[in-house]
Amino acid sequence: MSSTQEPHVGLHATPPWQHERAVALLPHLQRLTAPNPGVMTGPGTNSYLVGEAATGWIVIDPGPDEPPHVERLWQACGGDIRLIVCTHSHADHAPAARPLQRLCSERGRRVAPPVLGRPSAPTARADSHFAPDRVLDDGEVLALHAPDGGLRHALHVLHTPGHAANHLCLLLPGQRGDGLLFSGDHILNGSTTVINPPDGNMTHYLDALDALDAACARLQLEYILPAHGHVLPQARPAIARLKAHRLQREDKIRRAMQALPGGTLDDWLPLAYDDVPAQLWPMARRSLLAHVERLQETR
């Protein structure tokens, strides 16, 4: 039985992670987690499916190129995929886009769903090259309509560089504060995202957090749906906590740099991240660099 026929579990539910079938969070929302768990991905990359049988589906972040996962995405949508959207070009988010598009063509869709997003910048890693069929502009709206032409679902695009230069978030306005923010890797549940220069930029990241907070207030977005981890309720307080954490870390880095003015990243790292397990320091070093660049720019 397709998950579209099953009762939804709700946004507050935290069922055990599994990768074999989609979980219906709401009548118009499914989550299928890719089988790529790890230190950087947590339980795996969350692919989100927005829509319904009457409108077709938008697939957000198809994930890694894992054929069983691609097949499950197609099955969860009943084959009726209208758009494929990548929040950014990292290897755990975008590679399945083209295989999923080909699968739709092979199985009878007269018009294959376009792959949408923002192209990778020249600063992107070699494994993060991405060229969409069409570039999504900041403020653009992706719409799904009922057979009678009525608008059923509208995803607003917000360009949110910082984690990656081509990162975007998708906003699904609601009523009475039940709107959804699909945050990609900009906001995670369970960890803070890595900001890795040169494609990552800490100032851009913090500015985008402010833009997301403003969008949450304007569009009544209450829930954050991250690419890794469970749903986060109370979107605006969650964003405020995340920004405060980043600025507290930056202050700690500033003090480390003042204590060792002639030091290097490797000298500052144990001081600035002494509350983080040492095995995670190689990843923390990337965000340390992003903070150092920001501090040097704002002197």
pLDDT digits (tens, 9 = 90+) for 209-247: 999 999 999 999 999 999 999 999 999 999 999 999 999
Per-residue pLDDT band at 2 (split at 50, 70, 90):
very low
pLDDT over 70 percentage in the chain? 97
Q: Measuring CA to CA, which residue among 93, 94, 4, 5 is closest to residue 51?
A: 4
Q: In the chain, what is the straight-line distance between the N-terminal and C-terminal CA atoms, in Å?
A: 59
Give the C-alpha separation, 121 to 166, whole Å: 7
pLDDT of residue 3 exceeding 50: no
Average pLDDT over residues 174-181: 83
pLDDT of residue 9 exceeding 90: no
Residue ranges with strand state E in 53-162: 56-60, 81-85, 115-117, 134-135, 141-145, 151-159
Domains defined for the chain, CATH in brackets = 3-234 (3.60.15.10)
Three-state DSSP state, 24:
strand
Residue 6 confidence (pLDDT): 59
Q: If you count them, how many residues does the chain have? A: 299
Residue 172 confidence (pLDDT): 97
What tens digit of pLDDT does each residue of 47-75 get? 999 999 999 999 999 999 999 999 999 99
What tens digit of pLDDT does each residue of 264-297 get? 999 999 999 999 999 999 999 999 999 999 999 8
Q: Measuring CA to CA, which residue among 185, 187, 172 is closest to residue 245?
A: 187
Assess contact for 57 and 39: CB atoms under 8 A: no
Residue 192 confidence (pLDDT): 92
What tens digit of pLDDT does each residue of 92-145 get? 999 999 999 999 999 877 789 999 999 999 999 988 999 999 999 999 999 999
Per-residue pLDDT band at 190 (split at 50, 70, 90):
confident
Per-residue pLDDT band at 167 (split at 50, 70, 90):
very high
Who's near 12: CB < 8 A, 6+ residues apart? Answer: 231, 233
